[in-house]
Chain A
Amino acid sequence: MRRAIRAEWAKACSDPAVPWLLAALVVLSVAVSGVTVTAARCPAAACGQDPARISLAGVYLGQAAAALAGVLALGGEYSTGMIRVTLTAIPRRRRLLAAKALVLGGPVLLASAFALGAATLAGVIVLPGHGFTAGHGFDLASWATARAWCCATAYLTLVALLGLGVTAIVRDSAVATGVVLGLLYLFPIAALAVGDQALKRRLEQIGPMSAGLDSQATIDPHSLPLAPWAGLGVVALWAAGALALGGALLRLRDA
């Protein structure tokens, strides 16, 4: 296992795509969060907005970079035929996928933690000046803010793993990108479009993006379709399901 990880690490370091995507993840997340934090206002009247969600709005765009990093970690090998060499060196298919998941997950986790940490910090510093004060019932330096940061970081990592799993299933980076982004964005759009309230709530509970983003809530979590940790659990189930199916298919199919 350790040799597999070292081999994957060497490949990841020599492929420029993944470091670039991690840089894109950091830049996009921080940029979108910066814009929303600067623009958010909480005038004294009814302001029921969640400061953690405003600070972490960068996740909406950062997740595309995370998903793409997951897709390219395996998809690149399929497009160049490198996968055959890799499987000759590491014939145990599920061990290979586990090594890839670890080598992908670690850097994505660190990059997300850094980017979202910066975004959260920006929110904690800027938002009180825009009316999100203790007087209005907001406490930004709280355990809930830290939980939102942890959940958003874990969410981006799980989205990258979902990308890896889907690529193992479809074996083509372009199709995998389409499928992952479709999965992420389809549920919220469908939830906006359906009229039936129960169905809408159900869609928001099972969709990876809406469930995962619910985990960032810091105010009034009981009004949401899912409790914060349960929301993260749904995303974890999606990623684990995709990886398990991808691992099984990798074993059954020829490369």
Chain B
Amino acid sequence: MIRAEWVKFRSVRGWVIAVVLAAVAIAGLGLSGGDQGTCYGNSCAQLTGPGGEAVSDSFYFVHQALTGNGTITVRLTSLASAVRVPRGGTRRAPVPWAKAGIILKAGLTPGSAYAAIMVTGSHGVRMQDDFTGDIAGPAVHAGWLRLTRSGSTVTGYASADGARWTRVGAVALPGLPATVQGGLFTTSPQWTQTSLGVAAITGSPSQSTAVFDHMALSWRGGTWAGTDVGGSSGPAAGPATGYSRAGGQFTVTGSGDIGPVTYGPSGIGTTPAQTLAGAFIALIILAVVGAMFITAEYRRGLIRVTFAACPRRGRVLAAKAAVTGLAAFAAALAGTAVAVPAGQRILRSHGVYLPPMTAVTELRMIVGTAAALAVCAVLAVAIGTIARRGAAAVAAVIALIAAPYALAVSIPVLPLGAADWLMRVTPAAAFAVEQTVVQYPQVDDVYAPAYGYFPLPAWAGLAVLCAWTAVFLALAALALNRRDA
């Protein structure tokens, strides 16, 4: 049965050419290079945090060396942010993740361990540590902050009046040296805004200025020094940073971010999903071939011969689905196996930063994308069986799979919420197998499917597609058994 279907598939030259074209489209667009990056040679060595993940670590630091245990208390009276406008100069604007507060850091080297208590632009008080740790505190916008070190444990407190304190959180930093750099900091991340999906993006570096007073230090007082940690290497570098002191009042202006790196327009580089741009073209080709594999039989009347040869109609459908799925999988795998590894190498050689991937993730991306395309082709067979007419089947397949994928990923014009929603419920959700990066709620970026940030995990996306396919295959089997050929 499967052999009979395979002979039919093989004998139509157009289908064989189409399947080969699908593989060529994936490989060809994957190798075409993508955008030009800016990181060449040494500048491409991405800063990593204590956990080994890529991080940004640039902020303005008013610090002194502090040995042993102790407490810093300070009152933050204001935090004001501004973004750079295209024609030069700055304009005041809210920056939700602007940060200002107290930090204890292993050293002045970017990427070293730290713990900090801070007030943010619009996310209240936060206790953060080692770039990925984030604990939410009270939602006040200015007030008293306190950071206490006891051995390797650092505890953060917040207060509205300086008398009654709320414990925000305690973190353990096992590698913290006896002498750390501690003091006040301000930083302010890249500001990005989108419309028309992510097809139109505007953004610019931002800077924030915080005013502190009532500084109290339990350590014996040394002298304060100002350092622009991370300096000009940060993505948001540029605006004037620095600090001034008048009596007990510190005014600190900083720009940059302390946190994990993201790969959207506010972040750096791109995700490996970029190498699979050709998957969309392959999807259209394979869906058309899958739908035609059955509708062509109806058109030519061959279906009657097929059913005469094998009266068990469900088995005919199963054989057709198996042949289509395997042919599509083999072709797509040939394409993705070239596109993902070689495409990444080419992007890197163009100076584009790509997050490192484990071999397992890379394999999942290669095999998973091929599997998603193969299941899409099987779904097309099922739809073709139900529709029986080529054009109607192709239209349905395009509307169901290709259009959501195009609007959310390839030519993204939909607003982010709508794009995420499409990538959750439509069969196109399966392309979440291209996901290789993590979304961080404490970093503002455009987490869009177009940048490789999918709303579902890889396996869940594939499960959505498989559920669609199972339902349509069942409907197709039902229709085949109840209808005359």
Contact = CB atoms under 8 A, between A and B. Distances in A.
Contacts, number: 147
B105 to A, nearest CB: 32
Contact of B410 (A54, A178, A189): A189
A40 B196 contact: yes
A61 interface: yes
B436 to A, nearest CB: 18
A36 B193 contact: no
A39 to B, nearest CB: 3
A interface majority secondary structure = helix
Nearest to A188: B411
B391 A72 contact: yes
A53 B199 CA distance: 10
Contacts of B292: 174-175
Interface stretch (B83-91, B260-268, B353-361): B83-91
A194 interface: yes
Given A35-B418, A182-B285, A47 B193 contact: yes
Contact of A193 (B278, B299, B393): B278
Nearest to B390: A174
A68 interface: yes
Given A190-B32, A194-B33, A36 B413 contact: yes
B36 interface: yes
Given A45-B91, A45-B202, A54-B196, A185 B414 contact: no
Contacts of B195: 39-42, 47, 49, 54
A72 B35 CA distance: 38
Contacts of A193: 29-30, 32-34, 274, 277-278
B407 A60 contact: yes
A17 B195 CA distance: 35
B288 A177 contact: yes
B172 interface: no
B438 interface: no
B415 interface: yes
Contacts of A139: none
A39 B418 contact: yes
A13 B14 CA distance: 33
A43 B391 contact: no
B85 A177 contact: no
Interface string A165-201: 0000000111101100110011011101111110000
Q: Which of B281, B394, B395, B403 gathers the greatest number of chain A CB atoms within 10 Å?
A: B395
Given A32-B413, A36-B413, A46-B204, 12 more contacts: A40-B415, A45-B193, A46-B83, A46-B202, A68-B395, A174-B391, A177-B288, A177-B395, A182-B285, A185-B411, A189-B411, A195-B33
